[in-house]
Structure 1
Amino acid sequence: MFNRYSASHMGFRRSPPPYLSLANKTNHQVLKGLAGANFASGGSGILDSTGSTITMTKQIQYFSILQTSIMTYIATDRTYQLLSKSIFLISSGGNDIFAFFTKNNTPNRTEIDSFIATLASTYESHIKALYGLGARKFGIVDVAPIGCCPYTRSLHPAGACIDILNELALGFNTALKSQMQSLSSQLQGMKYSIGSSYAVVWGIIRDPNALGYKEVKSACCGAGKLNGQSGCIPNATYCSERHLYLFWDLLHPTHAISKLAGVAIYQGSQQFATPINFKQLVEQN
């Protein structure tokens, strides 16, 4: 959903098409630098062991295939020039944290630190792999306070946030900032912006009335406790005022929240995007 609003801010009518629809085509907009490609077809994961539908490793392999396809139609130097001006939008990490929590919901400090270090170092390897394929401009979205989504709240007897999940998200986000800053000094020409979905969502949870939201605990569509124990399926219960809800289903925000986050990260202050916002990243040569 965030991808859609990012694309619109960049001047596109809709989200980039799936990469498979672009492979082996000589006339598609990617070759002209007028469109992008979407490699997300399911739940993402930084770690291969997370068991996500499509890991970052697999997505990078798909990108490599598309890059090779482009090179068969335009010169290698033009391909790298095109890729160096492109924005590589990445949002991953939440599924990895959920998977870790599922196996160990009361980790000690050593286990937490070890997991975050592994997650961050693997992420670094993925960024370096993309850089090696020609990527230079990275738009990164951090992990939201996933301990406060309806699904995780439904696991708490009182419906409160699961603190350890938020601690893991914050720990990874902190490591991500340090890592990207270090990489940008090592990799020539690399530029980046980290958009904070954590800051956007946490601000709404703390003070929903400030922006006109009514419900930040329950999902608009779902079933069970807080509508967070089942997905938004045909026989689910759904709200009549979805624009007043933070969450659409047990895990995902509503359109209204995604649109708000898109604006904050694309053109907002350093509270929501650092060291520059996405707009500034797009405009940099």
Structure 2
Amino acid sequence: MASLLFSCCTLLLWGVGGRLAAGEVAGEAQAPAVFVFGDSLVDPGNNNELLTLARADYRPHGIDFPEGTTGRFCNGRTVVDHLGHLLGLPLIPPFNNPATHGSTIIHGVNYGSAASGILNDTGELFGIRIPMDQQLQNFKSTIEELSAMLQNKTQLHIRKSIFIVAIGSNDYINNYLLPLTNKRFIYTPEAFGNLLIQQFGRQLQDLYTLGARKFLIANISPIGCIPNQLAWQGGDTGECVESTNHLASQYNTKLKKMVDQYNKQLRESIFLYWDTYSFALNVIKNYASYGFKYQKTACCGGGRWNGQIICLSVMSPCQNRSEYVFWDPYHPTDAFNAIASREAYQGNLQDSFPRNVKQLVEG
């Protein structure tokens, strides 16, 4: 479980509106690059130019971000922004940004796309998005460009880099749990979890084949506790929706087993299992100990718990944003992300070595 001791210092240094400029780093780079794959929790603006409803390229998103509104679903930095800073790296640029070429990609690229999932049809109601399979194809394009610059040093560069993968929540929220989907008639919860693991396992093996060796794999957080779920399925007291959390837990158990298996089977690789579920649940249950005052209501949104209407440009967000766990109906605040990244970097993520990201880069 997460330590409660560092939260005050973390919030002072990396709370809302992080005081360092966007391009500044924490010190000497501890890894040559970070490559990020996932959904809106890590999307830095890849969806900005897509024909999609899953976009955050408007205020008040980014209200506390040094570069302003960039397409991040947050008031400030995402968790990978904070984690990259702790690793001594500049902000990892979005793949879809026209400027993400040449020397810009040396320190890594972020392929994350809001509404995307492990399955290609996840999030299709939002319009165009970049599912995990396409994110892998985009990474192949990056390898080609890196090869033109680094030549025979390309594979060494990739092998020493960190690969962060945070995906899977949308496969439930915007696929399996949708009211009009037929998925629940085709798959039992057990069978659907197996389908996700089979597909995701193949995708991780593809990354390994392309040269990735150091992985940080996030499980699914307690999605039954997000304001959106509280608003539509929770009771008046705002208790987490246990049926939704149970689906996430079932999947996470399978994911942990697969990660352990890959650590044994895939030579020279290190897979670090990031238990975001347990960490986030601990913060929500013990929110005051982490410096928060509001663990259920979103800072920006509308309706019950501010979870029924997404954060829109016409809305005024809360003023005391560092006191909220959730920024909008689905995503955490900069303050939460700062704490989560610190725990991932120096906390105890799993019993076996390596236990955290700091040890992952040293291994």
Counterpart AA for 1:74: L
Q: Does 1:48 align with 2:48?
A: no
Listed as ranges, the matches of 1:188-203 within 5 Å are 188-203=267-282
Alignment of 1:1-285 (within 5 A): 1-13=78-90, 15-20=91-96, 21=98, 25=102, 28=103, 30-31=105-106, 35-51=107-123, 53-75=129-151, 77-98=152-173, 99-103=175-179, 111-156=188-233, 157-158=235-236, 159-270=238-349, 276-284=355-363
CA positional deviation for 1:79: 1.1
**Could you tell me the percent identity over the aligned residues?**
32
Q: TM-score, normalized by length of structure 1?
A: 0.89
* 1:68 counterpart letter in structure 2: E
Number of corresponding residues: 276
Q: Is the 8 A contact 1:140 1:193 kept in 2?
A: yes
Q: Which moved more, 1:119-128 or 1:262-271?
A: 262-271
Structure 2 CA distance for partners of 1:105 and 1:247, relative to 1, 3 Å: farther
1:29 CA displacement: 5.1
- TM-score scaled to structure 2, two decimals? 0.71
Contact 1:227 1:237 in 2 (8 A): no
Instruction: Determine the C-alpha separation between the residues in 1 that align with 2:354 and 2:231.
Output: 36
Structure showing the higher helix proportion among its residues? 1
Task: Deviation per CA, 1:158-208: give whole Å up to 9, x if none.
Answer: 233221211111111111111011112111111121222212210122222
Q: Measure, in 2, the Cα distance between the counterparts of 1:24 and 1:160.
A: 46
The CA deviation at 1:240 is 2.4
The unaligned stretches of length 5 or more in structure 1 are none
- RCO higher in structure (CA 8 A, sep ≥6): 2
Shift of 1:42: 2.6
Give, in angstroms, the shift of residue 282 of structure 1.
Answer: 1.1
More strand per residue: 1 or 2?
A: 1
Q: Is the 8 A contact 2:273 2:350 kept in 1?
A: no
Q: Secondary structure at the match of 1:54?
A: coil
Cα distance between partner residues in 1 of 2:99 and 2:200: 26
| Residue type at the aligned position of 2:155 | Y
- Does the 8 Å CA contact 2:113/2:131 hold for their aligned counterparts? no
C-alpha root-mean-square deviation of aligned residues, in Å?
A: 2.3
SS state at 2:295 partner: strand
SS of the counterpart of 1:50?
A: coil
Query: Tell me, which stretches of 5 or more residues in structure 2 are unaligned?
Result: 1-77
The 8 Å contact of residues 196 and 265 in structure 1, kept in 2 or not, is answered as: no
Alignment-derived partner of residue 22 in structure 2:
none
- Please state how far the C-alpha of 1:275 moved relative to its aligned partner: 5.1
Alpha-carbon distance change, 16 to 2 in structure 1, aligned in 2, over 3 angstroms: same
